[in-house]
Structure 1
């Protein structure tokens, strides 16, 4: 079971985060997915189907939690909508463009493997871990940890360049 958790937790996190859940909600969904496996493991007839079962369970739970969360957010947004600005200001556009340029310049300083991995993660809603593993010649289980190391390197480059980041630590 420990090996299954080690191999499947990174892909489950990716699946769940693809539904737009924040870190706290995503953490709850992944934990609920593992708890559901513990409670319902006897319903899985084919041991080779466990990863698919976990993924399906995570998707369903992420969809359910996301739907509930969006419903709550929609009610709040409806009350705030008349007070929100209609267009982004020129200053906001310029700041966003500068931030994007600085980010991709920093990505360009990373090794090729990190650049490729981060581009896949950044531009694909639901990257296929099997394909990533094959393309980058790495085990599926090392994709998550490698991504984390690459992001840490990127963060260090950005912080060295005076990048402030946002207030919630992302």
Structure 2
């Protein structure tokens, strides 16, 4: 081949970059199967906040949520060669995270039930009274305004709670990521978010709170 036959540098297309989180997850899995671990490491850093929030939304405490998310990534590594559809990896991670969270909550409740059934005079009983202080999220509420919003949020339908929490994870939320996380069409997220915010404001009004003007 002569120099005239060579393809000019500008004619060579650059490697394509996966656009969505789902695309990047599929790419990371395929690369991992080929022995290249850098993309899966990047996926862990990017998707862990989403998985952590998904686990927390099921009622798992903060510290335990970290362990559950780690177990989800470990499960992905174990099953990397058996996932038939790479583009289903993100959904697989989210479903696995939810199921692991449900199992964790179930075990926690079973443990609490067994402890509650212990006789009062049982020596060294591990059972303790529930902590009357605010839950694990309380340290995130820096002032009374945030506490009012949190109380109001908990009165909303679960769908609204989950959507508003996901939207609050980033300054510019990825609607495609949110759609995958909660199974809501991308085109419905904006309108649903508006309705949920309106419900939140109505609850705050009923509570006599106006956190946006204090």
TM-score, length-normalised on structure 2? 0.42
Q: What is the distance in 1 between the residues matched to 2:50 and 2:119?
A: 36
More helix by share: 1
| Structure 1 runs not aligned, ≥5 long | 82-87, 93-99, 109-114, 144-170
- 1:113-132 → structure 2 map (5 Å cutoff): 124-127=160-163, 132=167
Identify which of structures 1 and 2 has the higher relative contact order when contacts are C-alpha pairs closer than 8 Å and 6+ apart: 1
Structure 1 residues 138 and 19: alpha-carbon distance in aligned structure 2, compared to 1, 3 A threshold: closer
Aligned to 1:63: 102
Q: What is the distance in 1 between the residues matched to 2:47 and 2:74?
A: 14
Q: How far apart are residue 44 of structure 1 and its match?
A: 1.5
Q: What is the distance in 1 between the residues matched to 2:80 and 2:93?
A: 10
Q: Tell me, yes or no, if the aligned pair for 1:14 and 1:126 is still in contact at 8 Å.
A: no
> Which has the larger Rg?
2
Q: What is the distance in 2 between the residues matched to 1:56 and 1:128?
A: 20
Structure 1 residues 103 and 78: alpha-carbon distance in aligned structure 2, compared to 1, 3 A threshold: farther
Aligned residues: 115
Q: What is the aligned-residue RMSD (CA, Å)?
A: 4.1
Q: What is the distance in 1 between the residues matched to 2:61 and 2:162?
A: 16
Q: How far apart are residue 103 of structure 1 and its match?
A: 2.0
Match of 2:163, SS state, is coil
